Chain A
């Protein structure tokens, strides 16, 4: 199988990048796209050239480490699959594939197809947790969870923080990612005490990182390797606006110095 790659090569954030063409006849339909990059890299190394830098770890769609644009689509042409799950049988013989890093202001490029996604970690730090008492584990049936809520929480919890939703979004919005985290925790009893604060803090953190706004175009849902549904965004907006309207975090005590006279004399 003949495959040509147009790969974004950029040695460092400071230097300009460009597409470089690599042609190969060593491709086979059963090969994964990342394996093809491995083969091309071996060739580059043996010729003393710099290999193409790209991220990957599990190579079975569960860790969220891999990810770049393939022909303009985040994680390539298949729904419910990460870049590492794209096989060459999805492409025509002789096809040219454009490989480009995920692009967003909040995802600074490190090298070639590798970007820094720690902005997502900072959004999690802002509110992606629940506070629980330490000590003995509580009895398992003390808080029961309706089946529907458990399903929705679990669906949202499937997010592997790959960043494809941001990459695919025309506005580079992190709404699907942030919404997934907010829904995952906010649907469960343990997540209730911090629900409003969590929505406010995570949405603000996403804005502070420089992610865009959501226009509900739906690209993220299609790009997501875990098929996280768009409703998590609605849930995020709901929780955020409810917290804003409730005046979450603005409750102030009525402080009167004891001994203050009741009537002004």
Chain B
């Protein structure tokens, strides 16, 4: 019995992998937010920031490699664990109520799948410019302004950032317990609040950019 499990990984070990990859992704999201807020400082600041990132290709590509690896581990573990759910309860309840789960906790796999789709779209859109109407490498500010001059991309981004907020609101809390970090009850309460506040900052901050760009383009009178 025990030997069979020893070969594979227990759910606890898999959740630890999810947590570590989740931390990498969350830290990235926070840094990405900090950088992107330069949008509000105007074209010069944002373009200079973009140029700075591309100055050291080795650093850029190692960061991208770590992010890509974390993303793959995170998604693979998420899908694997989600499949196991059905195995652990093959016959579902006729009636089942959730009394305690937060909205974020209930929707993790769905907000996660939205983020998966979003990340692919986002890379094609603003990193590679393939799905962008008039992409010019290096002209970050104008790329953003042109991209969000139409409604559809703006809506996609805003919906995805709502998903990101929900995901982070539960993810940051869950990850600390997956790693065995919050052993005191009073800290748990503080952490719950911290997760929600961080999620709000990230979601509102990142969604503000496409919304502002769309508003500006309307104001200019298309």
List chain A positions with a Cβ less than 8 A from chain B: 8, 19, 69, 71-73, 98, 100, 103-106, 126, 168, 170-173, 201, 203-208, 210-219, 221-223, 229-231, 233-242, 244
Contact = CB atoms under 8 A, between A and B. Distances in A.
Nearest to B16: A241
A236 B98 CA distance: 24
A116 to B, nearest CB: 14
Interface of B: 1-2, 4-6, 10-16, 81, 84-85, 87-102, 105-106, 108, 170, 173-174, 176-185, 188
A151 B102 CA distance: 28
Given A171-B85, A231-B184, 12 more contacts: A104-B88, A171-B89, A204-B2, A208-B5, A210-B88, A214-B12, A214-B15, A216-B173, A218-B102, A229-B185, A234-B180, A237-B15
A69 B88 CA distance: 17
Contacts, number: 151
Contacts of B10: 203-204, 206-207, 240
Contact of B97 (A71, A172, A216): A71
Contact of B88 (A105, A168, A238): A105
Chain B contact residues: over half helix, strand or loop, or mixed? Answer: helix
Contact of A217 (B1, B88, B105): B105
A56 B89 CA distance: 24
24 contacts: A69-B93, A72-B97, A100-B93, A100-B95, A103-B92, A105-B89, A126-B2, A173-B88, A212-B89, A213-B12, A213-B84, A214-B177, A215-B81, A216-B170, A216-B174, A218-B105, A231-B182, A234-B177, A234-B181, A235-B183, A237-B15, A237-B177, A238-B179, A244-B13
A241 B175 CA distance: 13
A210 B100 CA distance: 24
A219 B98 contact: yes
Contacts of A69: 93, 95-96
**What 4 A-B pairs are tightest by C-beta distance, nearest first?**
A238-B180, A213-B11, A212-B88, A72-B97
A204 B94 contact: no
